Structure 1
């Protein structure tokens, strides 16, 4: 089993989209998956509830709005039952975030390629580092490029990428590209595999990107086990 937290202090970083894409992708590969939706907006819980209400079921389990005092025990219980436990965390630093990190095998920090987003992603890295020091163990983390333009890389994006490389911060090999299909997952309460090319553009490319991101996460987990 693997526990993966997805965190960033900034709203709009693509945190929830990354969580949903990974959960659906892992489930499509026959893994048992659970999502702990600790984000106050509860978009994944709403996605799941709509499917249940419409009688479509869900490819993975969702637990919404966990209590801070119960986070550790909830993660421990789910980790015994599921191959993957993904935690979509609230935006701010909190005891909830700290407890999720403490149980995580990997922390993913999505960020948009803008100076403000990069700065806030650095704050999330500091949170992981502080938790590692408190626990006296290394917590694996990866920065994840989010809403990346597949066709054009701006000068600002190149500068940010160079700064991250110079700082030797670990980055997931594949980033989440900006695709309409990822928005449609929420609009239609469907997975990428369930969406129809007649109503969703760029579906083939989105599916390929999702597979690449999931494969990169597998690699990061494997690398973490070797440490």
Structure 2
């Protein structure tokens, strides 16, 4: 069975596709067989993959499958059983595909910008997923909020403190590492393969790789902890 990561946030512009590509790229770099299921009708992951192939930088070690609805999503997960890692780029709205992705995931990653409105949307999503898990008599999947498009200028500001205090009060786990706002990430998602297919002589790319590596290491540890907890139960 693959490790399943569902990248979820019904709010548009949260950076789901960027996070999904970075996750898959990091695992592929370490030799794991990885696949992305693009369950978002906008097809951003698919466009990234197709554009990369067209430019001659086919994403190393990453396959991509489209899943336009919940039934196709379930079938795709079953077909990809032999992969080491499956990353689901969920739809940008709350619906059956997002719910099924989250309930089947070892870890739900919720990208969120450091703003109170975005944070409230994430908490609402988590509460809805908890309700659906209870109704299905299933445990709520492990989850982590990942602050995305983080700027060093955000550090120690009042808005950031308010967001972190809000998540803490709601009992929502937040990653210690953040994904910074970087031009490199935008370039990558425009169809230039993974971070590891970009020119490593560029310092900005090396910094992006280091940032991505730290984030994915933390998410992997969280997912492995979830599997250990499940086995113990």
Give the 3-state SS of the residue equivalent to 2:21 in structure 1: helix
Deviation at 1:53, TM superposition (A): 2.8
Provide the C-alpha distance between the structure 2 equivalents of 1:10 and 1:223, rounded to a whole number of angstroms.
28
What is the TM-score when the length of structure 1 is the normalising length? 0.92
Residue 43 of structure 1 is matched in structure 2 by: 44
Counterpart in the other structure of 2:96: 95
Secondary structure of the equivalent of 2:190? Answer: helix
Under a length normalisation based on structure 2, what TM-score does the superposition of the two structures give?
Answer: 0.89
SS where residue 193 of structure 1 aligns? helix
Q: CA deviation digits over 1:145-197, x for unaligned, max 9?
A: 11111344221111111221232211223221111111110234221122226
- 1:1-227 paired onto structure 2 within 5 Å: 1-59=2-60, 60-78=62-80, 80-138=81-139, 139-153=141-155, 154-196=157-199, 202-227=204-229
Ranges in structure 1 where 5+ consecutive residues have no aligned partner: none
The alpha carbon displacement at 1:89 in A equals 0.7
Structure 2 CA distance for partners of 1:206 and 1:134, relative to 1, 3 Å = same
Give the count of matched residue pairs: 225
How far the C-alpha of 1:102 sits from its partner, in A, is 2.7
Instruction: Find the aligned partners of 1:133 and 1:26 in 2 and give their Cα distance.
Output: 32
Deviation at 1:97, TM superposition (A): 1.4
Deviation, 1:26, is 0.8
Check conservation: 2:184, 2:204, Cα contact below 8 A: yes
RMSD between superposed Cα atoms in Å: 1.8
**Hey, what's the Cα distance between the residues in 2 that align with 1:176 and 1:27?**
19
Given that residues 37 and 64 in structure 1 are in contact (C-alpha distance below 8 angstroms), is that contact kept between their aligned partners in structure 2?
A: yes
Taking the aligned partners of 1:91 and 1:141, their CA distance within structure 2 comes to 18
Q: What stretches of structure 2 of length at least 5 have no aligned partner?
A: none
Give the Å deviation of 1:77: 2.1
Q: How far, CA to CA, are the matches of 1:24 and 1:169 in structure 2?
A: 27
